């Protein structure tokens, strides 16, 4: 589990590196049938920022932990990009798509941790 925690922290740093906003970590470990242990959810203000955040996450996870996502989908439009790290799923949205899908509240039993935006 320590490696998963390190991965979540590294993903968070990758988001912050590109000024990603409203980072929420949903802890799904205690939820039966959940597809991952954590969802990391954030947003960028435009498709180009979403793409930059996605690239930053991938670079940091690979360089610092030797981790690569099994799959990355959504880069062609870059309004919602999902990165699959097995136990950790990362979702990078533009604001209106994030509001529409509201993944933070998909599992009402999930413990949510909000990370303050960097100035």
pLDDT tens digits for range 54-72? 999 999 999 999 999 999 9
* Residue 74, φ and ψ in degrees, nearest 5: 105, 0
The pLDDT of residue 33 is 86
Q: Which contiguous run of DSSP H or E holds residue 97?
A: helix 95-101
How far, in Å, CA of 16 to CA of 6, rounded? 15
pTM surpassing 0.85? yes
How far, in Å, CA of 93 to CA of 100, rounded? 10
Q: Over the stretch 18-52, which tens digit does the pLDDT of each residue have? A: 999 999 999 999 888 889 999 999 999 999 999 99
């Amino acid at each position: 589990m320590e490696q998963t925690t390190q991965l979540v922290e590294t993903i968070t740093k990758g988001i912050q590196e590109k000024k990603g906003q409203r980072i929420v970590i949903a802890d799904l470990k205690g939820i039966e049938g959940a597809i991952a242990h954590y969802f990391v959810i954030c947003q960028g203000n435009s498709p180009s920022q979403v793409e930059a955040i996605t690239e930053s996450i991938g670079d940091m996870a690979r360089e610092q932990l030797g981790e690569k996502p099994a799959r990355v989908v959504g880069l062609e439009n870059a309004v919602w990009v999902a990165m699959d790290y097995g136990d950790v799923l990362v979702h990078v949205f533009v604001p209106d798509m994030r509001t529409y899908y509201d993944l933070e509240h998909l599992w009402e039993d999930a413990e949510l941790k909000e990370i303050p935006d960097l100035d």
